[in-house]
Structure 1
Amino acid sequence: MLTLVTIPCLSDNYAFLLHDDATGATALIDAPEEAPVSTELSARGWGLSEIWLTHHHWDHVEGVGALVEATGAKVLGARADAHRLPDLDRSYGDGDQFQFAGHDVHVMDVSGHTVGHIAFYVPDAGCVFTGDSLMALGCGRLFEGSPEQMWDSLSRLAALPPDTLVCSGHEYTAANAAFAATIEPENEALKQRTEAIAALRKKNQPTVPSRLSDELETNPFLRAHLSEVKAALHMDAAPNAEVFAEIRRRKDSF
């Protein structure tokens, strides 16, 4: 059995622990800072076996050095991004697969936010670690990649099983919900989700991870191909990636 733990870090980041109960192996996905991760590991009596990195931005890697020094964990990341990541023990590219405590881990290139950004899909855990690619009700800004790249990345993530948990890197969900309502103000699923998000945040509880099925119903960045979204933007005949680009443009200035 695999246990998933969400760890708030910095002001609005998340890291995740994936623990195999049978072997005691533990993986950390992204390392925004050391202290909250070490505190969680200590509280649970877990060691740290591996650190998986989605991309090179400082708020996802800052804690790597201290954690490696303290635990001896091996660091895994994207081959294409290795020159910008902390020193890697193993590197992977799109379509690669590796084993974690006997469980398959599938590596997906999800470039767009950055070039070389990867996601880790773990079928046995029913979750995908997406960093700043697909986020709860949003997606990352296109700092390096093109709209076409990001739309392709999001489309591939959208094709995973609907009950997959999307483990993304930030607590941006309430703001994302407010923007989503400007695209689809009559979306009933979005209205209900926005209320649920407000209730969670009022209790200072995370809105991450989210269910992919919910993202498919409410996340405007996954819905750029739908006729109703195109109509709302007066882009009925536009290619999907062009509609996505317009939604991203609007979010950037929201």
Structure 2
Amino acid sequence: MSQNVYDQSEFFENYVKLDRQTKGLDGAPEWPRLREMLPTLKEAQVLDLGCGFGWFSRFARSGGAARVRGIDLSEKMLEKAHSMTADDGIAYEQADLENLTLPDDEYDVVYSSLTFHYLTNLPSLVAEISRSLKRGGRFVFSVEHPLFTAPTTPSLVVVDEDTGRKAWQVDAYQQEGLRTRSWFVEGVHKQHRTMSTYINLLLSSGFRLTDFVEWCPSQEELKSNPGWDVELIRPTFLLVGAVKD
């Protein structure tokens, strides 16, 4: 079973204060690029994996989706999603994505935001997604960038004492597997995978790659958000779009 830190009180109380939770999709800096990868949602059957508070599920319905199924492991996240949603066209469900079974040829769009890097058994899930997407269906997801997940040491950013130049430590990029991080609480488990692993996983599951973005803020975004200059040291997010042939 997946680790469920989101239902830990200390974690959840801090997590809900993030911009991407208080402001929704507009608080997620990578969202404009992800939105560009999406097909038309009008009359679409949509699956939202790791739906959290349901921000994307509600967006999909506002874009004309016929029905949205949102799945998350966290009871607290789903309670929040239900409280923020008044729409019979959205169905939220608690389930572990590590052992999820999906129906054949059911969905036009499958979407996931910053969830897959928590999963050990991602190949099985991607195979389920491929089987469940209709031919020509679109698969759009984001993960923490492999350069971001790779380090095994706790001090990720190194600052040169003489020049002040910042560098990102990548000490074990080719060694995939568990990484343990401190994020609101100690001992948060994430899974590091290389970029080639993500690409080959899609290709071997019957997908054709359509989008592959190492997210970086624009010059205009940097002017409005000075703290985002750390993204020029290393990307935080990898955004991927694919279609089932």
TM-score, normalised via structure 1 length: 0.37
Greater percentage in strand: 2
